[in-house]
Structure 1
Amino acid sequence: MKKRRLGKSDLYVSELGLGAMSFGTNKKNVTRIIDEALHLGINYIDTADLYDYGENERLIGEALKKRRSDVILATKGGNRFQQGENGWTWDPSRKHLLAAVKESLSRLQTDYIDLYQLHGGTIDDNMDEVIDTFESLKKEGLIRAYGLSSIRPNTISHYVEHANMATVMMQYSLLDRRPEEWFSFLAEHDVSVVARGSLAKGILSPRPLETVTAAKKGYLHYSPEELAQIRRGLDTLSTNGLTRSVLALQYCLAHPPVSSVVVGASTVDQLRQNVAAVSHTSINKVVYEELAKLTTPTLYDKHRP
């Protein structure tokens, strides 16, 4: 599988990243998915301390303890929680982040995290303290690079302009094209986009639309009828192996700032389908332009600089 660089860092990740949020807590299943992902050429796994309140990290650590060097491992912090209790609170303070990194390192059974991401953030946070904390962690060798997981433009713009960030993780798909407004800005600052949600909760997957829960009441500004029309448009373009998944993921990868599309998998079969989609030959300009005509580019209407 092809690899792309994350920002100005020395990290090169597979075009398909494995999102861990949907893994579940069955150890054998998690290990099976990770085994297959590595076998198929994925080297990028993305998790967060909040997923299953730390259990997700722990299971990943168990699965990777003998092959840590084969993986670019990303996790996130900034949400304070207590194991065994539901709920969490936002805490991007230096004190909490330093403690959270150490806890993640312990659960992941590793001495370093390749990419550490702030899991959210608002313009009201002490962002300079967050940046200083991340820089300190880099100097200590506890993290190799850092980034932000956020869709808030005002927060993104501050961190990009004031920090040596490698990445911004953003929800991005054919149905959610809001990030495109910021791609030139991110490229100018050598910050990579890590895309999540690129199959739009299954709406852009091979599944029959009537089985996709997210489509039943509409998705973002699209009505159920409009989603059905978009799917028909995708099917018209689905020739020569260009399945819906191929078109959806390759559309995102066609934008140079996008380094990887992170897609979840709860089964090995799901994983294989996603790998096949990303491993397909990239779409040409004609197909790209036809895809762009199917949906509407929109802007973030809140949290603007």
Structure 2
Amino acid sequence: MDKRELGNSGLYVSKLGLGCMSLGTEEQSAVEIVRYALDHGVNYLDTADLYDFGQNEKIVGQALKGRRDQVILATKVGNRWDDVDDGWRWDPSKSYIEKAVKDSLRRLGVDYIDLYQLHGGTIEDPYEEAIEAFETLKKEGLIRAYGISSIRPNVIKRFLSHADIQSIMMQYSLLDRRPEEWMPLLEEHGASIVARGPLAKGMLSERMLAKASENVREKGYLDYSYGELEQTLSSIKERLDSRSMNELALQYVLSHPSVASVIAGASSKEQLAQNIDAVNADPLTDEEVKLLKDLTTSSRYDAHRD
């Protein structure tokens, strides 16, 4: 599988990354999915300390035994649950990040993390503390690069201006094209997009609206009413019928040079195999990209702007 550099980090990630949140808690099945991914060219695994309150990191660590050198390993920090009775709270402080990374390393069973990401954030956060923490961890060799996971424009602009971030994880798909507004700025700062949600909750898979939730059926999805979703997906399928929906969805996101990798979850090897086939297919032509843009809506973020 082809690889792309993550920002200017020197880390080369497979075009398809495995989003580990959907692996579940049954260890044997989850480990098999991770190892299937590694066996088929996926070298980029994305987890978070919050997923199943640390259990996901433990499972990923089990799957990596004996194969650490084959993997670009990413996890996230900021959602703290060790001092609350129920749920979690947001804590981007330097002291917590420096504590949490050691907990993640222990659960993962590794000596270092390739990409450490701030798992959210607001404009009110003490961002200088978080940046200082990440830079300290880099100097100590506990992480190789850092980034953020955020869709908030004011947070993204702040970190691009003040930190050596290599990546921004953003929800990005044919049905959610909001990140396209920010691609020139990311390219200017040498940062990459890591695209999560490329299949739009399954609506861009072969099952299309059979995967739509009750909420989507009632209220639509982002700028699309449910009727507009039906029309849009039907038009895509009809006009580009030589390709699968998975292929169109993943290849559209990958057609943008700002994107280093698409992160897709998988709860089975069969689902993972479909995504692997989709990213290994021929890239979209310029004509196909233009047609997909014409058939979908280019939206923008309305909130959290300067």
Q: Is TM-score (shorter-chain normalized) higher than 0.5? A: yes
Look up the match of 2:99. 99
Look up the match of 1:235. 237
Structure 1 residue 215, shift from structure 2 partner: 3.8
1:271 aligns with 2:253: no
Partner secondary structure for residue 201 of structure 1: coil
Look up the match of 1:255. 256
Cα 1:208–1:183 shift into 2, 3 Å: closer
Residue pair 2:48, 2:77 contacting (<8 A) in 1 also? yes
1:73 aligns with 2:44: no
Percent of aligned pairs with the same amino acid: 55
Cα 1:84–1:20 shift into 2, 3 Å: farther
Q: Distance in 2 between matches of 1:234 and 1:63?
A: 37
Q: Distance in 2 between matches of 1:157 and 1:63?
A: 36
Taking the TM superposition and a 5 Å limit, the aligned residue runs for 1:165-184 are 165-184=165-184
Partner secondary structure for residue 216 of structure 1: helix
Residue pair 1:37, 1:271 contacting (<8 A) in 2 also? yes
Look up the match of 1:300. 301
Structure 1 residue 74, shift from structure 2 partner: 0.1
Residue pair 1:76, 1:117 contacting (<8 A) in 2 also? yes
For residue 151 of structure 1, what is the amino acid of its counterpart? I
Q: Distance in 2 between matches of 1:194 and 1:113?
A: 17
Structure 1 residue 223, shift from structure 2 partner: 1.0
So what's the TM-score if we normalise by structure 1? 0.97
Report the RMSD for the aligned CA atoms in angstroms.
Answer: 1.3
User: What 5-or-longer segments of structure 2 have no aligned partner?
Assistant: none
For residue 233 of structure 1, what is the amino acid of its counterpart? S
Residue pair 1:49, 1:57 contacting (<8 A) in 2 also? yes
Q: Distance in 2 between matches of 1:85 and 1:10?
A: 41
Look up the match of 1:53. 53
Residue pair 2:203, 2:211 contacting (<8 A) in 1 also? no
Residue pair 1:210, 1:216 contacting (<8 A) in 2 also? no
After TM superposition, the runs of 4+ consecutive aligned structure 1 residues lying more than 4 A away are: none
Structure 1 residue 129, shift from structure 2 partner: 1.2
Q: Distance in 2 between matches of 1:31 and 1:81?
A: 25
Q: Distance in 1 between matches of 2:88 and 2:272?
A: 30
User: What 5-or-longer segments of structure 1 have no aligned partner?
Assistant: none
For residue 113 of structure 1, what is the amino acid of its counterpart? I
1:41 aligns with 2:77: no
Q: Distance in 2 between matches of 1:6 and 1:83?
A: 34
1:3 aligns with 2:16: no
With 150-159 and 214-223 compared, the bigger mean Cα shift is at: 214-223
Q: Distance in 2 between matches of 1:279 and 1:84?
A: 44
For residue 142 of structure 1, what is the amino acid of its counterpart? L
Taking the TM superposition and a 5 Å limit, the aligned residue runs for 1:109-124 are 109-124=109-124
For residue 221 of structure 2, what is the amino acid of its counterpart? Y
Residue pair 1:16, 1:44 contacting (<8 A) in 2 also? yes
Residue pair 2:80, 2:91 contacting (<8 A) in 1 also? yes
Cα deviation per residue 1:197-250 (whole Å; 9 max; x = unaligned)? Answer: 11000111101523432642311121111111111111123333x111111111
Q: Distance in 2 between matches of 1:11 and 1:171?
A: 21
Residue pair 1:47, 1:74 contacting (<8 A) in 2 also? yes
Partner secondary structure for residue 22 of structure 1: helix
Q: Distance in 2 between matches of 1:133 and 1:157?
A: 19
1:88 aligns with 2:83: no
Q: Distance in 1 between matches of 2:87 and 2:114?
A: 27
Partner secondary structure for residue 131 of structure 1: helix
Residue pair 1:65, 1:110 contacting (<8 A) in 2 also? no
So what's the TM-score if we normalise by structure 2? 0.97
Q: Distance in 2 between matches of 1:116 and 1:210?
A: 35
Residue pair 1:215, 1:227 contacting (<8 A) in 2 also? no
For residue 65 of structure 1, what is the amino acid of its counterpart? K
With 211-220 and 159-168 compared, the bigger mean Cα shift is at: 211-220
